[in-house]
Amino acid sequence: MAQVSRLKPWLRRKMVAKNTLIGAAPAMIELYKRIAQVAPTDVSVLIIGERGSGKELVARTIHERSGRGTRTFALVDCAGLAEGILETRLFGRERPGIFEEANGGTVFLDDVGSIPAAVQGRLLRVLRDGEVRRLDSVRAMTVDVRVIAASDRELSIDVAQKRLRADLFYQLNVVTLRVPLLRDRGEDVVALARHFVARQAVALGRPIPEISPEALDQIRFYPWPGNVRELERTMVQAVAASRSSVLLPEDLPVLTSEPEEEAIARDWPTLAELERRYIDRVLERTGGNKTQAAAILGVARRTLQRQDRAQR
């Protein structure tokens, strides 16, 4: 067990650092190669991967390994902002927007498929012409930004269903990178678990606990529907709650709880109830954000509102 006081400063910094891609699975090795190829260029990159798989970390890695690495990296959660707020945040009104603030750097558009149609044309101008105009101005300003976008679904579907402009899609999709699911990465799950345990212990100023073989088996065989983000949260909680030098299965209660599919089969809900439960689960994951939940479910926001009213 490593003692915090004995760790060299550079090792402490490495353990605590959040922006570190970890893994040796074949899919991750391929991803590293693609990042190395695309990072030195200025082309737009589209990152596809499930929620929690590490899309933001991939984007930050590309930025840091590019010639823009010392400049601004600006993240915009496109699904988490209402249309008017998103438009103002991107293009500015009275004050500079993201594209002005990040001039010379990188703009990362997360959940880019959620951008409303009214905003897509303005975004296309930035990508195509390198120009941005504030919402309260007629004067266009030249900006030099690299755009990296991310989505948890295939944007070609959005194009086919007329939710995303085809010309914007082609501007965003110069290079596509795919982030593998955690459950498809083999022993990477163990390496990541140990990394998160070490980082949390160092952050708390504690000795770094070992992970028992039984707990490691639980970690290996759990399906991790929330991907790397769920693993990180689980290990952080385990370290924070445990005072032992070894993490045991009981320190990871989420891995020993009854699988949801077994619980569903046991109480035989109706199709309507199953639909309600799934919607509630998606809303819980999005923090109650109906716009983001609707995008995940592939329905209109007003559909969720109608269903809420019907349940009352």
Tens digit of pLDDT for each residue in 250-265?
999 877 655 555 545 5
Same domain flag for 201 and 172 = no
Domain with 294 in it: what CATH number? Answer: 1.10.10
Q: Is residue 21 included in any domain, yes or no?
A: no
Residue 126 domain flag: yes
For position 115, what pLDDT does the model report?
95
Confidence band of 1 (pLDDT split at 50, 70, 90): very low
Same domain (yes/no): 246, 271: no
Does the pLDDT of residue 100 top 50, yes or no?
A: yes
User: How many domains are there within the chain?
Assistant: 3
Do 148 and 247 have their domain in common?
A: no
pTM of the model: 0.77
pLDDT > 50? residue 5: no
| Average pLDDT for 81-101 | 94
Q: Is residue 305 part of a domain?
A: yes
**Which of 128-137, 162-171, 273-282 shows the lowest per-residue confidence on average (mean pLDDT)?**
273-282
Is residue 48 situated within a structural domain? yes
Q: Are residues 242 and 278 both part of a single domain?
A: no
The overall average pLDDT reported for the chain is: 87
3-state secondary structure the chain: CCCHHHCCHHHHHHHHCCCCCCCCCHHHHHHHHHHHHHCCCCCCEEEECCCCCCHHHHHHHHHHCCCCCCCCEEEEECCCCCHHHHHHHHHEECEECHHHHCCCCEEEEECHHHCCHHHHHHHHHHHHHCEEECCCCCCEEECCCEEEEEECCCHHHHHHCCCCCHHHHHHHCCEEEECCCHHHCCCHHHHHHHHHHHHHHHHHCCCCCEECHHHHHHHHHCCCCCHHHHHHHHHHHHHHHCCCCEECHHHCHHHHCCCHHHHHHHHCCCHHHHHHHHHHHHHHHCCCCHHHHHHHHCCCHHHHHHHHHHHC
* 130 confidence band (pLDDT: 50, 70, 90): very high
Domain around 303: 260-311
Q: Are residues 108 and 40 in the same domain?
A: yes
CATH number at residue 195: 1.10.8.60
**pLDDT given at position 289:** 78
Q: What is the CATH number of the domain that holds 155?
A: 3.40.50.300
pLDDT tens-digit profile of 140-191?
Answer: 999 999 999 999 999 999 999 999 999 999 999 999 999 999 999 999 999 9
pLDDT band with cut points at 50, 70 and 90 for residue 20: confident
Q: Are residues 251 and 264 in the same domain?
A: no
Pair 170, 90 in one domain: yes
Q: Looking at the structure, do residues 164 and 142 belong to the same domain, yes or no?
A: yes
pLDDT at 284: 72
